Amino acid sequence: MDSINSLVAYFKENSTLKPDEIELVCSYFHSEFLNKEDRLLMEGDRYQKIVFVVKGILRVFVIDRDGEEVVKNFIESKDFFTDIESFERNLPAVINVSAVTECTLLTLSKSDAELLINQLPQWAYLIKMGTMQAMSNMIRNQNFLRMGNSTDQYRHFVKCFPALAQQVPLKYIASYLRITQSSLSRIRKQGW
């Protein structure tokens, strides 16, 4: 029940839904749990769910030409996630998503989302607005990756994302910052 309370609180704070509408929306979400390093989504899968992260951290990554994982984004508690193309158009995913920490999730299947739209037409609008907000946040959060040197980028990361800096393994932070793990270790030894 704690999980649903997190989602209720999120909608109360971030939407114009009335209490009975929030209750209806939340009734369609189902709990899921991921252990550390469990995969949520693999490239090539068709992912037909919207995810709300109640607790934990997910990482979004791709596999480069050399077979190396490249972290593109982190999804924290109180964030929504879906692979838009896979969810809306049933296309194979081009990303991978796995748990960095143990994660408690609430998920809404595509079929339940469609049922919900029939009962609450404004849900479609909320999904679109949420998607646009998530994309905007991701772009804004990653702007620092184009400025300064590696030390500056790491400083910004620690300042703006303290929970991630404390909980995410260095190899994933280094990948996200597009530097080697040994370079990141040197930066940290210099007082960062």
Q: What is the pLDDT of residues 5-19, one digit of tens each?
A: 999 999 999 888 999
134 and 122 within one domain: yes
Handedness of CA 11, 48, 2, 79 (dihedral sign): negative
* Mean pLDDT for the chain overall: 90
**Mean pLDDT calculated for residue range 95-121:** 95
77 and 25 within one domain: yes
111 and 168 within one domain: no
Q: Tell me: the pLDDT tens digits for 12-48?
A: 998 889 999 999 999 999 999 999 999 999 999 999 9
Show the domain range for 186: 147-192
Q: Report angle CA 154, 158, 164 to the nearest 5 degrees.
A: 110
The domain tally of the chain equals: 2
Joined together, the tokens standing for residue 133 give 């907000």
119 and 103 within one domain: yes
Percent of the chain scoring above 90 in pLDDT: 69
